[in-house]
């Protein structure tokens, strides 16, 4: 948590639908991408996403994803072109809860938020947001706010 405050991840509903569509398409394998937006204290706002191909070995993609250093550089460049930053990573957990795994904990970075979406039988089945603790021991849950369109 940042200064003892609970983090908030704010995502417009239309963007959330884009994210879940990308993740559902990859089912039963894991899929991933980057959240682009801004951070303001304990509030993080995703306004775009960059879907990425899972670079993990094919045989392991059903329970692993890999985002390469090159993917991160592409994400930084893409975000900068819109005046944004990479604020997080999203990925799916096929037929599993949207909670960080031990593998997620080992490979996460504490300065990003992680949106994990459960995909059950090819359909979104829940999502939760997380931030790795500074000491890398575990994750703290962030409040996930999926906001409807302003004129909906």
Domain CATH for 54: 3.40.140.10
pLDDT tens, N- to C-terminus, the chain (152 residues): 444 568 899 999 999 999 999 999 999 999 999 999 999 888 999 999 999 999 999 999 999 999 999 999 999 999 999 999 999 999 999 999 999 999 999 999 988 999 999 999 999 999 999 999 999 999 999 999 999 866 54
- Asked if residue 17 is part of any domain, the answer here is no
Query: What pLDDT, on the 0 to 100 scale, is given for residue 4?
Result: 55
Give the structural domain span for 45.
27-147
For 101, phi then psi, to 5°, come to: -90, 170
- Asked if residue 5 is part of any domain, the answer here is no
| Strand segments (E) across 32-148 | 32-40, 43-52, 85-94, 113-120, 123-132, 139-147
- Counting the structural domains of the chain, the total is 1
Structure tokens that stand for 116 in this block: 């994990």
CA atoms within 13 A on the CB side of 65: 28
Instruction: Tell the residue number behind the tokens 């460049």, with chain if given.
Output: 77
Q: 39-61 b/e with 16+ CB inside 10 Å = b? A: beebbbbbbebbbbebebeeeeb
CB 19 within 8 A of CB 90: yes
- Asked if residue 81 is part of any domain, the answer here is yes
By residue count, the chain amounts to: 152
Query: What pLDDT, on the 0 to 100 scale, is given for residue 152?
Result: 47
Query: What pLDDT, on the 0 to 100 scale, is given for residue 148?
Result: 86
| Strand segments (E) across 3-110 | 8-12, 32-40, 43-52, 85-94
Query: What pLDDT, on the 0 to 100 scale, is given for residue 2?
Result: 44
- Asked if residue 21 is part of any domain, the answer here is no
Is the N-terminal amide bond of 28 cis, ω within 30° of 0?
A: yes
């Amino acid at each position: 948590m940042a200064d003892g405050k609970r983090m908030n991840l704010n995502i417009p509903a239309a963007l959330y639908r884009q994210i879940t569509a990308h993740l559902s398409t990859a089912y039963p394998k894991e899929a991933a991408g980057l959240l682009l937006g801004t951070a303001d204290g304990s509030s993080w706002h995703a306004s775009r996403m960059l879907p990425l191909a899972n670079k993990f070995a094919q045989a392991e993609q059903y329970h692993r994803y890999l985002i390469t250093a090159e993917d991160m550089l592409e994400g930084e460049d893409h975000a900068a072109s819109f005046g944004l930053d990479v604020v997080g990573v999203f990925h799916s957990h096929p037929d599993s809860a949207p909670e960080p795994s031990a593998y997620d904990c080992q490979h996460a970075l504490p300065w990003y938020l992680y949106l994990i979406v459960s995909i059950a039988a090819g359909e979104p089945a829940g999502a939760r947001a997380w931030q790795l603790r500074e000491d890398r021991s575990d994750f703290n849950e962030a409040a996930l706010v999926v906001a409807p369109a302003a004129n909906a």
